[in-house]
């Protein structure tokens, strides 16, 4: 820890011969003495800071504590068993210096004066300012105490209670079983639908403009707003294959939910935006890349195939890839009932 070697004071001062044969560093005495008397790592840190000794790492301390525990456990059990024969019980609460009374005094001193009570005592006794290590220790303790106090205040702060309407459920027209229904005639629904479809229509120039302005997809706010009222190609398969008897609630939530897309190598090569169908303005697609006017790129990762380490031909034959199948000419193609087919 440091190069300082100084013998700790004992009841009987050592002679020069004893000092040469049995010298002890202040570091070793402090480190091994603290866990031997039942002290914790906090006690050791405070003790070393007062003695102007650099602090010991917690990992080293706990390793020493474990080693001492194995040794002291056997000795302690033997001593307690001998004491129990004479006083009919075990001695407790004697593992620290001056016992419970001294610890109570120190706790009261720290509570009344503060975490930096060492400063005044040190200056009054030694007639000089504390060392840098002790000042660092006091600063750390003050910061810990401040954070702990703030945490307690936040945790136990009074919660403002919300005042709700005391209207009974059976009389509430906004919530509950007796909620007032919103009536719309069939003609009104059709009229609103036609207005929305008319608003979503685009011509070729508008289509190209939106495609340029929405590059970046979910990173682009324009893309999110243009996509909000349209059915994109990634969800088209789920809509086409939905049975009439299946509720559309979950499907509608999935379509309306905004999700982020994974960036692929094709998207980095030639980034594309949202392309809207000119004839059907409520349909759109976001390809991974654009080659030319008539060709686009859509990349799908066959993660399971890469994990198995199989060729694509063998993986299709073993039906490890659900999106691919073989046609009558034994050629690989997209499955005609898979969502990817409807997406393309």
Q: How far apart (Å, rounded) are the C-alpha atoms in residues 294 and 212?
A: 17
Provide the CA 330 distance to its chain's centre, in angstroms.
50
pTM above 0.75, yes or no: no
* Mean pLDDT calculated for residue range 19-48: 62
Q: Is the pLDDT of residue 43 over 80?
A: no
Q: Which of 66-70, 202-206, 326-330 has the lowest mean pLDDT?
A: 66-70
Full DSSP string of 201-237: ---HHHHHHHHHHTTTGGGSHHHHHHHTTSEEHHHHH
> How would you write 99-126 as a 3-class SS string?
HHHHHHHHHHHHHHHCCCHHHHHHHHHH
Alpha helices by DSSP H, listed for the chain, are 16-21, 26-36, 41-50, 58-87, 99-113, 117-126, 132-155, 186-200, 204-213, 221-227, 233-240, 249-256, 265-269, 303-308, 312-317, 339-343
Residue 170 pLDDT: 60
Which residues sit opposite 324 in a β-bridge? 334
CB atoms within 10 A of CB 175: 10
Total residue length of the chain:
344
What are the tens digits of pLDDT across the range 298-315? 777 777 777 777 788 888
- Kindly indicate the confidence band of residue 172, based on its pLDDT and cuts at 50, 70 and 90: low
Q: What is the mean pLDDT of the chain?
A: 72
Say if CB 230 and CB 276 are below 8 A apart: yes
Tens of pLDDT, residues 77-127: 666 666 655 554 444 444 444 555 666 777 777 777 777 777 777 888 888
Task: Calculate what percentage of the chain has a pLDDT beyond 70.
Answer: 65
Q: Do 320 and 304 meet the contact criterion of CB atoms below 8 Å apart?
A: yes
CA-nearest of 15, 17, 174, 20 to 5 is 20
**Average pLDDT rounded to a whole number, residues 241-259:** 79
Residue with tokens 């007796």: 178
């Amino acid at each position: 820890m440091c190069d300082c070697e100084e013998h700790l004071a004992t009841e009987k001062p050592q002679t020069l011969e004893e000092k040469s044969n049995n010298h002890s560093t202040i570091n070793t005495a402090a480190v091994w003495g603290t866990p031997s008397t039942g002290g914790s790592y906090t006690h050791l840190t405070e003790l070393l800071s007062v003695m102007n000794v650099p602090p010991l790492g917690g990992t080293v301390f706990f390793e020493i504590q474990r080693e001492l525990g194995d040794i002291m456990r056997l000795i302690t059990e033997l001593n307690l068993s001998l004491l129990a024969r004479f006083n009919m019980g075990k001695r407790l609460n004697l593992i620290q210096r001056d016992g419970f009374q001294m610890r109570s005094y120190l706790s009261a001193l720290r509570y009344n004066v503060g975490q930096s009570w060492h400063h005044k005592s040190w200056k009054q006794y030694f007639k000089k300012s504390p060392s840098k290590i002790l000042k660092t220790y006091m600063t750390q303790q003050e910061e810990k105490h401040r954070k702990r106090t703030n945490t307690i205040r936040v945790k136990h702060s009074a919660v403002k209670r919300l005042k709700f309407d005391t209207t009974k459920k059976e009389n509430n027209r906004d919530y509950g079983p007796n909620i007032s229904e919103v009536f719309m005639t069939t003609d009104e629904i059709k009229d609103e639908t036609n207005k929305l479809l008319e608003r979503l229509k685009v011509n070729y120039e508008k289509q190209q403009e939106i495609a340029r302005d929405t590059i970046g997809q979910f990173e682009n706010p324009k893309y999110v707003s243009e996509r909000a009222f349209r059915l994109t190609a990634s969800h088209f398969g789920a809509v086409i294959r939905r049975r009439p008897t299946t509720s559309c609630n979950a499907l509608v939530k999935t379509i309306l939910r905004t999700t982020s897309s994974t960036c692929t190598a094709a998207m980095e090569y030639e980034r594309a935006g949202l392309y809207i169908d000119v004839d059907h303005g409520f349909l759109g697609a976001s390809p991974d890349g654009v080659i030319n006017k008539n060709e686009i790129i859509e990349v799908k990762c066959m993660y399971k195939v890469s994990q198995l380490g199989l060729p694509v031909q063998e993986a299709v034959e073993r039906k490890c890839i659900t999106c691919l199948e073989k046609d009558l000419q034994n050629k690989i193609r997209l499955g005609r009932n898979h969502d990817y087919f409807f997406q393309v």
